[in-house]
Amino acid sequence: MQYYKKQIFPWDFDLRVKMQIINTANIEEARKKIKDSKEKPIIVKAQDENFNRKILEYGKFDILLFPSQTKKKYSLKYMDSSLNHVLAKIATKNNLSIGFDMSSIKDLEKKQKAIELSRIRQNIKICRKAKTKIKILNYKDGRGVSSFLISLGASTQQAKEAVS
């Protein structure tokens, strides 16, 4: 069980909200934890592409959270962000959201932060084309996060829904 901060007042007052994050690489164990979960929203942490596709097709949770520090391939011509257009369309069909954690990005080194922001930008473009919802976790200022998302390429509607 992890606690996340959620802003409810504009003067930087934080409230801790309970969110259960399911972090397992076994698909059957993840399905069992989703069925047994009573709190909303149910968040599943993304793993490899095979796991992500199976869990998105299962679809009885709310947010698929993409971790920030991954050992994915990165070069100037290719970047693996673990999200493709097929997964985004499955998420749209099952009314699921793709989530990003802002607190983990804040603690990265400059080069890692740049790489992670470019991955998020790539995922936002994919989500925008497939009309997939985006959710942002662990933020303080809703307006700042929405304008940040717009600068990364999200539509205004996606940015508003991401912080609500």
| Domain range annotation of the chain | 2-163
Fold (CATH) for 2-163: TIM Barrel (3.20.20)
Q: Could you give the CA distance from residue 126 to residue 72 in angstroms, rounded to a whole number?
A: 18
pLDDT tens string 34-88? 999 888 889 999 988 899 999 999 989 999 998 766 666 666 667 777 888 999 9
Specify whether the CB–CB gap between 38 and 76 falls below 8 A.
no
Tell me, what's the pLDDT at 14?
A: 42
Q: Which residue has the higher pLDDT, 49 or 125?
A: 125
Q: Mean per-residue pLDDT for 138-159? A: 91
- Is 15 a residue whose pLDDT tops 50? no
The count of other CB atoms within 10 Å of the CB of residue 148 is 19
pLDDT digits over 22-31, tens only? 999 999 999 9
Place of tokens 């059957």: 28
**Distance in angstroms (rounded) separating the CA atoms of residues 37 and 68:** 24
Better-predicted residue by pLDDT, 57 or 104:
57
Annotate 85-131 with DSSP letters as a single string: HHHHHHHHHTT-EEEEEHHHHHTS-HHHHHHHHHHHHHHHHHHHHHT
